[in-house]
Amino acid sequence: MGFFRLLRTAAALAASMLSLHAPAASAQSWSSDSTSYHYESTCSTGYGSPGATPLPTDYERFPETTTSIAPLVTADVTDYVTADTTTPFVTTTWLDIYVTTTVTVVATSTTTTGTKFATLTTTTTVCAGAGSGSAAAPATTATVYTGTYDPAPGQNTTLPATFPTAVLCVIHDTQLVFVWPTAVGTNTVTSTYTPSTAAETSTITNTYTRTLYAYDPSTVVRTATSYAVANAAKTATVTADCGPAAIPTVTYAARCAPQNLLAEANGHGLDVTNFNAAFVFGGTSELAPGDPSRCCQLCVDNAAAGCVASVYWAQSSSCLLGYVGGPETCPVAFDYSAPDYILPRLGNIVQTSGGCGSIKFVSAP
């Protein structure tokens, strides 16, 4: 059993409130106050094997209020007056001048068409022979991983011995109230403002330069973009021997082995960000429930159809396949990072198909 501590502090300053109390015999008094809030949370994570998804999380909250009163402050009363002068009334005129240039632009007709993706193909294993039933699924299969895999830079390809099983967070909620009492004394201070002498009229001239663009009416700009999203509309069947002594084998690429999937970095789980402008998800989230290795293999199987990377969300056990359309050759489909608020192997679990295209690790913001 291991534990980690997460400390977060957030402070929000509420607007000051002003309340006027009944005046004393010769003075007025009031108090201003403000409230700030301080939150401190400490979370402990339990580890075991196997892990739990979604991760059970419990919270305990302890509220507390603290008041601080500042010493009484006495302030003088200030009386603001304007001196009587013979300054003439000033009239100001604003004069705007526009210098306009018109440019005629000849537009060209353009058409942009995105890549049309092939139909996404899924694979299922069924038993052969009348003795095992017609097109029946085997009760048990053995998974083997073939080929070679070059780890991503800095990737750890050793699975941890234990996984997160539960989280308990204790939150201390402190409300701080600050009060500043103030009294106005009987002493009056006079502040006199004397206007300056100015000319009777003034003119402010602003000159603006602007360019107007007019399109040649004989041409029209046309832009069209089309993407066809791949869906699971085709199933390939693998026939296997399901006899009493046989356990059918399911073969996946080495990059899809659990220890080779990209599931954590720097001790934290992964988040997917900065998608390519022509990125689309293919398939449906129910493609490989509970099996990130199968999600990876689906992308490998559809690499020729344009799949760049698989994205498996551990908390919901959902799988989607990432495609990138457009004219770009072997594009970066998306970035992935390891923010400190995601527990290891409980965020996105991603992997490339090994075909054309890539994904890129970036530092968490």
| pLDDT tens for each residue of 122-168 | 888 888 764 444 567 888 888 999 999 999 998 999 998 888 888 88
Could you give the C-alpha distances from 315 to 42, 53, 320, 347, in angstroms and in order?
A: 22, 6, 14, 7
Asked whether 96 and 208 are in contact (CB, 8 A), the reply is yes
Conformational region of residue 326, where left means phi above 0, alpha means psi within -120 to 50, and beta covers everything else: left
CA distance 2 to 195: 74
Q: Return the pLDDT at 60.
A: 82
Q: Which residues of 320-331 are buried (b: 16+ CB within 10 A; e: fewer)?
A: bbbbbbbeeeeb
pLDDT per residue rounded down to tens, the chain (365 residues)? 333 333 333 333 333 333 333 343 345 677 778 888 777 888 888 888 877 777 888 888 878 888 887 787 777 777 777 766 655 666 777 777 777 777 776 666 555 555 556 577 888 888 876 444 456 788 888 899 999 999 999 899 999 888 888 888 888 888 887 777 777 666 777 777 776 655 567 777 777 777 777 766 555 555 544 455 566 567 788 888 887 778 888 999 999 999 999 999 999 999 999 999 888 888 777 788 889 999 999 999 989 888 999 999 988 889 989 988 777 888 999 999 999 989 999 999 999 999 999 999 998 66
In a domain, residue 222? The reply is yes
CA distance 115 to 323: 10
Asked whether 316 and 349 are in contact (CB, 8 A), the reply is no
pTM of this structure = 0.60
CA distance 35 to 13: 6
Token output for 340: 């400190």
Q: Return the pLDDT at 200.
A: 66
C-alpha torsion angle, residues 330, 331, 333, 337 (rounded to 10): 110
In a domain, residue 135? The reply is yes
Q: Which domain holds residue 216?
A: 8-76+91-192+200-361
Which residues 6+ apart lie within 8 Å of 86 measured at CB? none
In a domain, residue 82? The reply is no
Token output for 128: 């052969």
Asked whether 203 and 93 are in contact (CB, 8 A), the reply is yes
Q: Return the pLDDT at 233.
A: 60
Token output for 187: 């002493």
Q: Return the pLDDT at 158.
A: 92
Minimal CA–CA distance to 348: which of 316, 323, 324? Answer: 316
**Domains in the chain: how many in total?**
1
Q: Return the pLDDT at 296.
A: 95
**Residue 255: what are its φ and ψ, rounded to 5°?**
-65, -15
In a domain, residue 85? The reply is no
Q: Return the pLDDT at 3.
A: 31
Token output for 278: 């022509």
CA distance 311 to 209: 52
CA distance 113 to 107: 19
In a domain, residue 83? The reply is no
Q: Return the pLDDT at 183.
A: 73
Q: Return the pLDDT at 89.
A: 60
Token output for 359: 């994904």
In a domain, residue 347? The reply is yes
CA distance 81 to 192: 5
Q: Return the pLDDT at 264.
A: 94
Q: Return the pLDDT at 220.
A: 54
Token output for 287: 């493609």
CA distance 39 to 54: 26
For residue 107, which amino acid is it?
A: A
In a domain, residue 2? The reply is no
In a domain, residue 1? The reply is no
